[in-house]
Structure 1
């Protein structure tokens, strides 16, 4: 049985707006369902972004909630791409969480990477060495994951719609750790220099000389979205599962840490000079 596509950030935004509109007119889920002629289950699933409403469903809900023409047009436009099929659905065996869908909708991505080169900037050979280290002996799975990571890299250079702005702070340790051997690392570091020339990419290096800093707790990513689609999200990947910090207070803590790490990192020009020096070494 074909599984439904996961909602994008726009899908979740549409769902939350429909929930808000229902509450604004003072209807409980059961009351709205009765007036719509639907089951309570259907209304609940639409409001939780678990079911995609049809155009007719959306029109009926907006009629019931008395939505004016301007807001109706905005929500109809939001509905168009709310459940689009993303490239990552072809790799559902690799990407099991919602992070890649969130990343695809982000306007800005800010990443602190203390141990590895960020995934969006990894070469295939570097990625292969990293994945192989965690999945030894299963080359089929390794290659599948390398292909998925390669597809993910297209994000920063896409042209069908604006590519996100990507700011990465990379610890010196990640630049010097010889993953895959000297040739793989030299190639990887050259790719970093090429990426730094892109107008939407900013690379910063945190040198050993920075000493103790707020990023010692581990890597994290902050995603911000366009058009007030959704609040910022901080993301942490762990072996025990993915962590999404969505409350304003939680995200603020990550943002403060990112700012403090930035304050002791090299500026972009110094960082490219540093990377070039490591290549020569």
Structure 2
């Protein structure tokens, strides 16, 4: 029986390989569906990682496509790995979409943020202020803060991704909670920026017009052969995933331009230190 799910990187890779196998077998989706006794919709949903295929379905498809060993065994193992539960599954009630599963498996994360400190770098009190902008339910607020703190754990694991962040200088001026909350957040940013796999830059006001004026975004990269790069945009209307090579390349170019316009990591550290000193009570 097929099950709806949020695809992980491995799930997306499995779906892509099944599509490529069908195409190499010179079968259209409707041809494969007829031979397998499925609907065309089922074939398409499996190939788009929108539906989890059962082991029987996977074996039937590989029989039809003529998949030999050891590729067959590799795909079966990939299918098993694709549906392993990640930490985010405990927070399904507050997280929708697939972003966290993709972020968790990324080898490099590039983020441009013009509004607030990125979620991966937020302290509990700062995160609480951000969440309170969207909900007033105490239980919901604390659960979302807990989830963000769990999310931060990827920065401390042995295979932590490279994290490259460009912050708009406005973030250093935007008061989120008390002076103590802001000082603690700035101190945390400085600590995180000194991690060997983290690079943090601040884009200063005096740079004026820049290519990131239309909003923040994230570019996720994965180990070679795992999955192509993905650009992610969080909008009021919902999450947007850009996967075409042209769209992702444009976001990479914009990020590189923003990085060049921003202060160096050392200059950015000094700017954050100054922001921490300038925070006043009241």
Q: Identify whether the pair has TM-score above 0.5, normalized to the shorter chain.
A: yes
Distance (whole Å) between structure 2 residues aligned to residue 278 and residue 30 of structure 1? 61
Which of these residues, 188, 192, 198, is aligned with residue 191 of structure 1? 188
Distance (whole Å) between structure 2 residues aligned to residue 169 and residue 239 of structure 1? 22
1:37 Cα deviation from its structure 2 partner? 5.2
1:115 Cα deviation from its structure 2 partner? 1.5
Distance (whole Å) between structure 2 residues aligned to residue 45 and residue 113 of structure 1? 33
Name the residue aligned to 2:25. Answer: 25
Name the residue aligned to 2:76. Answer: 76
What pairs up with 1:126-275 in 2 under 5 angstroms? 126-135=126-135, 137-159=136-158, 162-275=159-272
Distance (whole Å) between structure 1 residues aligned to residue 255 and residue 95 of structure 2? 26
What TM-score comes out, normalization by structure 2 length?
A: 0.90
- The answer to whether the 8 A contact 2:7-2:98 is kept is no
Distance (whole Å) between structure 2 residues aligned to residue 64 and residue 110 of structure 1? 40
1:93 Cα deviation from its structure 2 partner? 1.9
Deviates most, 28-37 or 5-14: 28-37
**RMSD after superposition:** 2.0
- The answer to whether the 8 A contact 2:112-2:212 is kept is yes
Distance (whole Å) between structure 2 residues aligned to residue 98 and residue 53 of structure 1? 18
Deviates most, 25-34 or 112-121: 25-34
Aligned pairs, how many? 276
Structure 1 244/40 Cα, relative in aligned 2: closer, same or farther at 3 Å?
closer
Mapped pair 1:99 → 2:96: no
- The answer to whether the 8 A contact 1:156-1:163 is kept is yes
1:198 Cα deviation from its structure 2 partner? 1.3
What TM-score comes out, normalization by structure 1 length?
A: 0.90
1:196 Cα deviation from its structure 2 partner? 1.1
- The answer to whether the 8 A contact 2:176-2:182 is kept is yes
- The answer to whether the 8 A contact 1:112-1:168 is kept is yes
Distance (whole Å) between structure 2 residues aligned to residue 225 and residue 153 of structure 1? 18
- The answer to whether the 8 A contact 2:33-2:40 is kept is yes
Distance (whole Å) between structure 2 residues aligned to residue 76 and residue 200 of structure 1? 33
Distance (whole Å) between structure 2 residues aligned to residue 258 and residue 38 of structure 1? 44
Name the residue aligned to 1:118. Answer: 118
1:34 Cα deviation from its structure 2 partner? 4.6
Give the gaps of 5 or more residues in structure 2: none
